[in-house]
Structure 1
Amino acid sequence: MSFSKGELEHIIGREIKTLRAPVLPNALSYKTILITGAGGTIGSEICRQLARLEPRHLILFGHGENSIYEITKELARRFPKQKITSIIGDVQHQEDIRRVFAEYAVDIVYHAAAHKHVPLMEQNPYVAYSNNVLGTKYLSNLADDYAVEKFIMISTDKAVAPTSVMGATKRIAETIVANKNEKSKTSFATVRFGNVLDSRGSVIPLFREQIMLGGPLTVTHPEMTRYFMTIEEAANLVVEASLIVKGGEIFVLDMGAEVKIVDIAERLMALLSDKPLSITFNGIRTGEKMHEVLMEEAERAVKDTDLHLFIGKALTGNELAIEYLTHQAKKYTNRELRKELLQLANTTNVLNEVL
């Protein structure tokens, strides 16, 4: 079941933003574009929005063969003239990525592949590290080696002062991208999301399922808040950012005020249930924050009112510390690795001198 624009605006309590970055005629017509995580909620929507701009070649890269098959089939039906290549691979496997760059002259990379489920990544820190950190490291190195024009990484507000494994790995990945931008002719930048409505693993599918079962709806804490954006806003932000990127930026959508999770539950209940259902509070889980912050103060964000964007300066990181963790990660227990990831992501040494 999908929601109308009006229903989505009611759920998040604000108007859905339509970004308006200037699009030059045929801006992507001669571009070969690689999208990692192309079968995911965000990756597949990025593919749809890019296809409307008629690039020369779309390369869909992901490790889930069924999800890659589905988005390939959809794009072929909706955009029959679009050249598409679908590749099953894993960003954790450097050779998988190298083969793509060696075979195709990639111009732009949208890096959407990531493990994002906070509680699951708390239990599986090495998987989070390997996918989110090493995958970004391999991909950014190869993008530099093969002289890609632009590299846009998708991150999360949970990367700001992270308290979770997922947030820590994304924070470290952000610094890897920022470091690479300092030395490369490729323009590297990051787009940072809030919570994406109705994406896989988000609260909306969970609440919808709980409503269909007659309740109760489970919320962690009555005062917990999050920034919310729609799937279309998220993908639009990524594409728009890539059109204006110069290198070294952090892009964040102006999502208005934070929204209480319990308010989201109550609004969904009003839309989907013909009777009131109970809501239970089950407590904050390990790694979760009560409230999120969109940017570090040191990132010095400037608001572009016309584009509904905050644009900040990405902070670089301690490359030696990141390399040390790369060599040591396999030796740590889950508990030790979680500690190391959080320490590296939060230490002042991982940020640049503006701090």
Structure 2
Amino acid sequence: MKYKLTLGRNSWLFLIDTLLLILSGVTALFVRFGWDFQEMRKYAAGVFVLIGITAVANLLNGTYKIVWRYAQPIEFLKLLRGLFIGYASTILFLHFTRIAVLPRSVGMLTFLGSYFLLFSARTMYQYLLSIRKSSGKRIGIVGAGDAGVILLNEIKRTNYGNVVVFFDDDPAKINKTIANVQVVGRIDELDKYIAELELDEILIAIPSASKEVLARISEKVDTSRVKVKTFPSISEFLTREPTIEDLRELSIQDIIGREPVKVDLSSISDYISGKVVLITGAGGSIGSEIARQVINFAPKRLLILGRGENSIYEIYNELRERNQNVEIIPIIADVTDSKFVEHIISTNHPEIIFHAAAHKHVFFMQNNLYEALRVNVIGTINLAKLSCKYGVERLVFISTDKAVNPTSYMGLSKRIAELYLLSISNDCPTRFSIVRFGNVIGSRGSVLWKFKKQIEKGGPITITDPKMKRYWMSIPEAVSLVIQAGAYANKKELYVLDMGEQIPVENVAKTLAKLMGKPDIQITYTGAVPGEKLEEELFYDYETPEPTHHPKISRVRYNNLKVKDAEIEEMVNRAMELWTQGEEHSALELIKSLLF
């Protein structure tokens, strides 16, 4: 192995190491012979042969290729390897050449002493750098496990700040010291130590932390004074260790969101891999997340369709960066344009369709029944009829809990779309999956988005009623389950996702305000908005949930429908016509008649 010593810092390190080797050799002679300089001179030649060979061994060992500022235990083992190679080579060299004599005790003491001195010099160098270059930021780490130690080392490596303390609920760790940082107490004692130690940041090093644990931490920290950051889900670190760059501020999704879901990757891959997939509403919150997850299953071609040019442009570029191997075709179109949609399907031959295009705002649709029917129902009818005509394998329709006993035009339109898909003739070769779920965290234009904007402006937060509750899901969780439900479809199936318990909207608003550092922001109540319920429902009385292979997905058994798909389409078109003629009451009554 050839190694060229570079000038500069490595030259100085080589010189210092050589001086330390000499010091260890002289010390070994003194320990062995005391003040008997005559005996010391007799064996000095052997010591200097050992020093010379060890210095060369360190070069060949790659000791000076290591950046000691960031060295980990493995690098110090490499240092020991270089010194041992030097010691062993010296013994063999002197045994065969007989040019000098090196007592065994002197050789061993020189070897051990040199490792002690070289190791100490490097650790002292690291320590002095950490003192000199660490920022004034005082940090507490929650979680004294493997992730906490990795984070501590990352902070030292990047000079992110000064870790003052660990917190952990494990009694066996409390009052113990980890890498010279003490574990002082449990999570419930955070507020006490934050004030006492004047901490600036709390970093949560528990990638598998539940929402309950994160909520406890949030309760104990005044986020207007102290920043709280956490790692993403542990699933992000299956193939690598977390770094400082992975830290992000604690979000509302962490606290009221759900635990990461597991899906059957094999069954999903079986129906998506190598297929042509069309996603409608691909620029929206749900549609774009479907695209992000579907592309991981290697479809043959991915068609992303939406009306908004900018949103399709953004998701197209994001997908291109994620996967260069999948052909991605952006399409600007309206699902209600039956001729153009037929052109898209007839020329691209999609085998799987995820239908996420819809009007979703309850308040806006309450003044626009015509538009709710046009997009949410007629758009779905167009896709369903074309799927049957061109032999699409599966169509997955995104529905909502607002379709159950609807009090809004948006919910009404979604329910009629459900009924149409369920009433399609069994002669159609397409498998239809309808997936119902509730509010998603992070959706553009959602109530959380509104709260965030209000908090940023200083308030007040406006809530219609203090008793209002909603189901909440993270977008990635909802989409994972939607894609999984698509694998279960057999002809016409209705699925409902397990969304846990409904959470008061007021609690969500207060939690979000606290996370944004404004826990005392004013909340005002505006009164019920037309079309809104105080609580949502998941099933009609005549619907019976049945288990599937996934614990968070229920298949719904429903009674035979009294209307056919053609009748629904005719009545919807008639209602839209009545609406444009000013006969709004008649249009609404006609639509409602489909539900009862």
- Compared CA separation, residues 97 and 24, structure 1 to 2 (3 A): same
Matched, 1:277 2:521: yes
Mapped to 1, the partners of 2:255 and 2:470 lie a distance apart of 13
Q: Secondary structure at the match of 2:593?
A: helix
Letter in 2 for 1:259: I
Mapped to 1, the partners of 2:267 and 2:303 lie a distance apart of 22
Mapped to 2, the partners of 1:25 and 1:216 lie a distance apart of 45
8 A Cα contact 2:571 2:590, kept in partner = no
8 A Cα contact 1:126 1:337, kept in partner = no
Mapped to 2, the partners of 1:195 and 1:99 lie a distance apart of 34
Q: Give the 5 Å matches for 1:167-316.
A: 167-180=411-424, 182-304=426-548, 306-313=550-557, 316=561
How far 1:341 moved relative to its partner?
6.1
Where relative contact order (Cα < 8 A, 6+ residues apart) is larger, the structure is: 1
Question: What is the root-mean-square deviation in Å for CA atoms of aligned residues?
Answer: 2.2
- Compared CA separation, residues 287 and 328, structure 1 to 2 (3 A): closer
Letter in 1 for 2:593: L
Partner of 2:589: 340
Partner of 1:318: 563
Partner of 1:89: 333
Q: Secondary structure at the match of 1:87?
A: strand
Q: Secondary structure at the match of 1:168?
A: helix
Q: Give the 5 Å matches for 1:94-109.
A: 94-109=338-353
Letter in 2 for 1:318: V
Mapped to 2, the partners of 1:341 and 1:288 lie a distance apart of 21
Q: Secondary structure at the match of 1:205?
A: helix
Mapped to 1, the partners of 2:422 and 2:340 lie a distance apart of 23
Unaligned ranges ≥5, structure 2: 1-228, 234-249
Mapped to 2, the partners of 1:25 and 1:118 lie a distance apart of 32
Among 228, 247, 261, which residue is 1:18 paired with? 261
CA deviation vs aligned residue, 1:147-197 (integer Å, no higher than 9, x gap): 111111001000001110000000000011111263412111201120111
8 A Cα contact 1:30 1:56, kept in partner = yes
CA deviation vs aligned residue, 1:252-292 (integer Å, no higher than 9, x gap): 22111111100100111111124411111111111111111
Partner of 2:364: 120
Q: Secondary structure at the match of 1:74?
A: helix
- Compared CA separation, residues 203 and 98, structure 1 to 2 (3 A): same
Partner of 1:350: none
Partner of 2:290: 46
How far 1:295 moved relative to its partner?
1.6
CA deviation vs aligned residue, 1:271-326 (integer Å, no higher than 9, x gap): 11244111111111111111111122322111348431122135646232541331
Larger radius of gyration: 2
Q: TM-score, normalised by structure 1?
A: 0.91
Partner of 1:352: none
8 A Cα contact 1:178 1:314, kept in partner = no
8 A Cα contact 1:168 1:341, kept in partner = no
Letter in 2 for 1:222: P
Partner of 1:330: 577
How far 1:345 moved relative to its partner?
4.8
8 A Cα contact 2:546 2:557, kept in partner = no
8 A Cα contact 1:39 1:64, kept in partner = yes
Q: Secondary structure at the match of 1:301?
A: strand
Partner of 1:30: 274
Unaligned ranges ≥5, structure 1: 348-355
Q: State the identity %.
A: 37
8 A Cα contact 1:23 1:243, kept in partner = no
